[in-house]
A and B are shown apart, each in its own frame.
Chain A
């Protein structure tokens, strides 16, 4: 009564529990068993214990009950005659790898997925001549990958940063004009004070106000964002910190003021690297504006004004001073599975906001904020993202926030853009609005995008946790319900456990790096790292190939993540 044969098949390796009172002599079938999906709830509620010798569903089917047995009894060897000793679980299903996806163009071909052949197959003579609808082997024209946009990033190493009378950049020494801070106040009247200091790699035990952002120093020399030439300073980052006039930290959920060596996970995509020189810009904004949109935005504008003066000297850096050159391409890869990357960003206002497509890489001026755009999905090319197309104003929990530098070197964007097995058609940025109705509105537009872009697969990521997980679930649902394979990526672990979900969230990647599973207020700790990106993409390809992803455990366990990581070759 309780479960169907299909359910029993899917859950062969789960414990067998009687759903109802059954009499001696009953031959156990699916209809006698409790739904395995609610068994964990029953155990959690203390209603049911599963003994160590509990039999699985696969083992008990067809066995005979030796005595009258109550509902909610876990079946064990002493209760049954004729149970099977070993399960031949569904986990044994194997398919060959790599596998064929359904993207081949030749229609009318019968495909056989053969996982394991034993013995031999004999075909009658003349099979080739009897006109079966097998297509003759044609010479397959392999469509070629095509570069549609090229971005060259020229790096200029900075060895030393100091203060002086003029802003200049010569021989690896960046000098900042002393009056730069005073001038930056002109950027916005809400900014009441700004200070700059230099924090070298060897001296990180420095107290700082909460870190609002970490930004690269980069500037366009040729072309628009995402193409042409960009100059980037390496070995140095800008760190924006902020308080209001009353000394209140400019943060929302969780703050990371304190000593930098204790509060930053150095080396994360969004963090300073261990050897980076940090230029700290500390801004004081008008009292009580820290939780209004205009306050934090003003701080970012002042900071951007300071960076702009550095950008001007970086633009003029002589070509021979270039220490490294990276070339990035936007590709079209016809014939390969179309996929999109969806990055959910905060859009609830105040610090929960981002500037999209500023004029300068990772800048503020010239961009549009996603809150002003109504949080609707906006498509960027991978190169636009990698060229600083997102300036993050966001200030969610420090350990999960994706700041400006994170987007500048986003591991998943890089991985998917360079992967020649897939055709990454774009990176979609979608805001998480404040109002529930708006959440549905923007998620539905994302679904429409997925359909219009005709993708076969998608990865959806989100920073933060809590209320934005509602959008996260809905975004995944909108894609999944269109028959598109989708993988979700988020920090959840212990503190951020999902409160909502749907059936399309069956392939998920955990970003947590904290041993206890908490938002630990260490900047960047539980953000998306290269190894997370690799698991996410492998999971997506595996799902697209039709290979089952095993269901998650009920609780976050690091071992699951480690085991998945082992599968990366």
Chain B
């Protein structure tokens, strides 16, 4: 059969490919929720092995009682100066404990998660690390998991893990410095403060900003009703590298 054809025809409309929705509605008030935090920003205990900066799909479990001074970052995809000043700008562990004391959340999950999402292997994160992390959080009785990612691929890796966690019945959100990537990769909920990568959870040592970003994100989890919603947060921080 003969068909008239042409070489070099080009599709005329850009199509964003979003994966299918994953969605777990939040079943109880924040004040009764166990909250975990996961960062793809390469955070781990000083006593744990460093991540391989050229790509690493392993992860570190961080006991939530760890003092923030015992934490460090190994990540090659963003400027580490902010997070070296204050680990809370990527993993707001101190803020979480404050929110527990305040009664804003029920309690902090016993274990938090650090991994290095830069250059992340999609298949490995999707098929291995993501489900393993989800399993750990599930067994801890976590209701909410909040994520941060550093660089671009880091946002992708963070979103992949976030989706795995959401799919086991935990409500999640990502605090994104690069919201278009989180959106396109299919993050269930996104909050977007005006921050550079590497300080997604707020300016280093700015407790008020970090608290506000975390609180607004947790509130957004309570308020958002459909997959893929994004909320821009009114906090701005610029850093000069």
Contacts and interface: CB of A to CB of B under 8 A. Distances in A.
Interface of A: 1-2, 19-22, 31, 34-35, 38, 41-42, 44-45, 47-48, 70-72, 91, 94-95, 97-101, 103-104, 335-337, 421-422, 473, 488, 490, 492, 497-503, 505-510, 535, 538-539, 541-542, 544-545, 547, 549-556, 560-561, 563-564, 567-569
B1 A336 contact: yes
Which secondary structure dominates where chain B touches chain A? loop
Given A44-B180, A45-B181, A421-B3, A72 B152 contact: yes
A71 B118 contact: yes
B184 to A, nearest CB: 7
Contacts of A560: 10, 12
B55 A41 contact: no
A552 B14 contact: yes
Contact of A567 (B1, B9, B77): B9
Given A20-B53, A508-B13, A41 B184 contact: yes
Interface string B162-201: 0000000000000000101100100000000000010000
Nearest to B182: A41
Contact of A509 (B13, B54, B156, B197): B13
B110 interface: no
A38 B156 contact: yes
Interface in B112-162: 118-122, 151-153, 156
A87 to B, nearest CB: 16
Nearest to A501: B15
A496 to B, nearest CB: 9
Contacts of B54: 1, 20-22
Contacts of B9: 507, 538-539, 542, 547, 549-550, 564, 567
Which secondary structure dominates where chain A touches chain B? loop
A212 B35 CA distance: 54
Given A1-B119, A20-B55, A498 B5 contact: no
Contacts of A500: 16, 18
A535 B12 CA distance: 10
A72 B151 contact: yes
Nearest to A554: B14
Contacts of A551: 10-11
B10 A41 contact: no
B76 interface: yes
How big is chain B's contact interface, by range? Answer: 35 or more
Contacts of B178: 41-42, 45, 47
Contacts of B76: 20-21, 70-71
A19 B119 contact: yes
A454 to B, nearest CB: 15
B176 to A, nearest CB: 10
B195 to A, nearest CB: 12
B6 A508 contact: no
Residue among A41, A94, A498, A535 having the largest count of chain B Cβ atoms under 10 Å: A41
5 contacts: A498-B13, A539-B11, A544-B3, A560-B10, A567-B7
Contacts of B13: 488, 490, 492, 498, 505, 508-510, 552, 556
Contact of A421 (B4, B11, B122, B156): B4
Contacts of B5: 97-99, 538, 541-542, 545, 547
Nearest to B16: A501
B152 A42 contact: yes
Contacts of A492: 13-14
A507 B151 contact: no
B199 to A, nearest CB: 14
Contacts of B17: 501-503
B55 A1 contact: yes
B2 interface: yes
A19 B15 contact: no
B55 A541 contact: no
B175 to A, nearest CB: 15
B239 interface: no
Interface in B13-27: 13-18
Nearest to A43: B152
Contacts of A47: 151-152, 178, 197
B89 to A, nearest CB: 17
Contacts of A550: 8-11
A300 B154 CA distance: 56
B16 A549 contact: no
Contacts of A31: 55
